Amino acid sequence: MARATDCLSAGGDCPGIALLIVVAVGTFIHGYDELVQAADHAAAALALDAFAQIGHSSVLPRHMQWERFLPRMALLERLHGCELLIAHAGVGLVRDAVEARCRLLLIPRRRPNTPGHPINDQRPFARKLACHLPVTVCEQPADLVDWVKVALSRPAPDVELPAFEAPRIIADYLMKT
């Protein structure tokens, strides 16, 4: 049975084959209209079955199911069932995608850094991640269709992240007091 990733990596269309992608913009107060718009276009152009968490974005998808926000467990369930997560370069989403073993395509925000938003330009972080994790980075939302094909042609990640130490550190501290 042909898989959608096989069809896309061969450059063809995938009639009758559903491929679930998840799009997530996180909770940034200004949303991420460019990402939502580019992902909606890619879903239509590639006939992908897609779901988007659009947060505060003003763009409403026409070719994807969507919700503004999802409870964490609902998002994790979607990630465990998807082929690809398309997201901004947020640390939490990156970690969740890697742990869910889904492919990850980042479209980092490119806004100027300001004292109120010191990490508005996520490009340096996304580039650094791509040196250490199996992450695809698309810096121009207009190029997303091509980058989705690239990301889906790559194998699903098989990466173990180090254990998160904060709960243990807090527990150790509380035990000493």
| CATH number (domain holding residue 151) | 3.40.50.2000
- Res 10: pLDDT: 46
Helices (H), the chain: 4-9, 33-45, 72-80, 91-100, 123-132, 144-153, 166-176
- Name, in order, each residue with C-beta under 8 angstroms of 108's C-beta and a sequence gap of 6 or more: 88, 89, 121, 122, 123, 125, 126, 137, 139
Place of tokens 């919700």: 67
Domain residues for the domain of 103 are 4-176
CA distance linking residue 5 with residue 149, whole number of Å: 8
- Res 176: pLDDT: 72
- Res 82: pLDDT: 92
- Res 169: pLDDT: 61
Q: What is the pTM of this model?
A: 0.79
pLDDT along the chain (177 residues), means of 10: 43 50 90 96 95 96 96 92 93 89 93 64 90 92 96 86 61 66
- The strands making up 103-106's β-sheet, listed across from edge to edge, are 65-67, 49-53, 20-24, 84-87, 103-106, 135-137
Structural domain total, the chain: 1
- Res 167: pLDDT: 59
Whole-angstrom CA distances from 113 to 9, 28, 82, 151 are: 36, 14, 32, 28
- The two tokens of residue 52 are 């988007």
Task: Determine the 3-state secondary structure of 97 from DSSP.
Answer: helix
